[in-house]
Amino acid sequence: MIKNGKFGKYGGIFVPELLIPALEELESAFFKYKDHGRFNKELDYYLREFAGRPTPLYFASNLSKKLGCKIYLKREDLLHTGAHKINNTLGQGLLAKYMGKKRLIAETGAGQHGIATAAVGAMLKMPVDVYMGAEDIERQKLNVFRMEISGAKVIPVNTGSKTLKDAINQAMRDWISNIEDTHYLIGSTVGPHPYPTIVKHFQSIIGKETKQQILEKEGELPDAIMACVGGGSNSIGIFSAFIEDNVELIGVEGGGKGLKSDEHGATLCKGTTGILHGSLSKVLQNKDGQIKEAHSVSAGLDYPGVGPEHSYLKEIGRVKYVAITDPEALRGFQLLSKYEGIMPALESAHAIAYMEKYAKKPENKGKTIIVNLSGRGDKDMFLAAKLLGVKT
Ligand SMILES: *Cc1c(COP(=O)(O)O)cnc(C)c1O
């Protein structure tokens, strides 16, 4: 049943043989349920009533006036648990239930995906174990508490750099030993086939809604769409509906301390082809193939890999990828808060900061631009205050 799950040469399955049966089972269940009436009816119910879909496509009138463009924001920040991640956790959580699985496991970096999984686990009455690097647990105590209060168990990972990539490795090990009753709920369009395809499917609701909404509001497609890229799920979610259209698509990576430094998360701008977490894609690695540490002010963009489909979209020239540095992102965070009264997540602030640069170019004057606002900034307030030198 395993097809190769390739995007050009990228993607595929590079895992220990023991995992193959679980990936095959998952693939056939996904293809069985993705167009299944009852499954989709139930998912649609939870997306609306539990998560808060559809999200508005909001016309940012003040910024539009200031920048001389028509700027729209896709408001994923308004969803339950604060970001687009819930679209995928609901989809995969329900899929696991339909597959008869009894337990969910997940990895988390800063905790956003862990929180979304914990919420869905509580709602679907499935126990959740979340693997989290010991380093990240120390930095994100409040998020650990959020997961625990929803009944999830947070398991510290003490191997390697004690961060996200080590947590993914550990979660895969757990899955290998508990394939029968456990679903591994991956949080972005990464990992071996069929994960990049599954996560894209559940996030593509963002693009479908956006297309319908912009046609209602403007009577035509936008000129450009931009979204931040960590693993690549919110961006592929909004891009997917527009790939065949004449719309400029731009992915914005975490430029950290600058692309000339070694401290960034700009995998597509600066990475090379390699294997990480079960698939072939661009990765940040040294010349011996050792995975480097990524850096970004926003935890969600701080990952040394990226979804394989993005590597393909870059290669064929369909999507342009750029990077925004930490200080630029912080400016984006302030800009949207001040002009529109909307505090973006620091991840989303990267897309806002790039939108400002783009709108200021003379050739882009008057264009219609959509920014995917992947999440809200509440989680980042303490960090933003610290970076801006405000005492809290
Ligand atoms: C996790 C996260 C991201 C990055 O993940 P993608 O899979 O690239 O979308 C971006 N924004 C927010 C708010 C997040 O929580």
Domains 15-46+84-191 and 51-80+194-386 share a fold: yes
Report how far ligand 1's centroid is from the alpha carbon of 324 (Å): 15
Q: pLDDT at residue 1 above 50?
A: no
With cut-offs at 50, 70 and 90, classify the pLDDT of residue 275. very high
* In the chain, % of residues over pLDDT 70: 99
Cα–Cα dist 220/310, whole Å: 26
Q: pLDDT at residue 375 above 90?
A: yes
Q: Which atom of ligand 1 is nearest to the CA of 113?
A: 1
The residue whose CA is least distant from atom 14 of ligand 1 is: 300
Are 360 and 67 spatial neighbours (Cβ–Cβ below 8 Å)? yes
108: its two tokens: 């988390």
Burial class (CB within 10 angstroms; exposed 0-12, middle 13-18, buried 19+) of 214: buried
In this predicted structure, what is the pLDDT of residue 140? 87
Average pLDDT on 340-355 reads 98
In this predicted structure, what is the pLDDT of residue 392? 81
234 lines ligand 1 (CB under 6 A): yes
* In the chain, % of residues over pLDDT 90: 95
Cα–Cα dist 276/281, whole Å: 8
Q: What architecture does CATH give domain 51-80+194-386?
A: 3-Layer(aba) Sandwich (3.40)
Residue predicted with more confidence, 4 or 298:
298
Residue spans per domain, the chain? 15-46+84-191, 51-80+194-386
- In tens, the pLDDT along 297-330 reads 998 999 999 999 999 999 999 999 999 999 999 9
Are 328 and 302 spatial neighbours (Cβ–Cβ below 8 Å)? no
- In tens, the pLDDT along 84-128 reads 999 999 999 999 999 999 999 999 998 999 999 999 999 999 999
111 lines ligand 1 (CB under 6 A): no
Q: pLDDT at residue 345 above 80?
A: yes
163 lines ligand 1 (CB under 6 A): no
Q: pLDDT at residue 4 above 80?
A: no
Q: Could you tell me which of 250, 202, 252 has the C-alpha nearest to residue 79?
A: 202
Topology of 15-46+84-191 in CATH?
Rossmann fold (3.40.50)
Neighbours of 275 (CB within 10 A): 17
Catalytic residue among 74, 85, 162, 270: 85
In this predicted structure, what is the pLDDT of residue 153? 98
- In tens, the pLDDT along 178-212 reads 999 999 999 999 999 999 999 999 999 999 999 99
- In tens, the pLDDT along 32-69 reads 999 999 999 999 999 999 999 999 999 999 999 999 99
Catalytic residue among 107, 253, 340, 347: 107
> Is 374 a residue of the active site?
yes
232 lines ligand 1 (CB under 6 A): yes
Average pLDDT on 228-248 reads 98
Q: pLDDT at residue 172 above 50?
A: yes
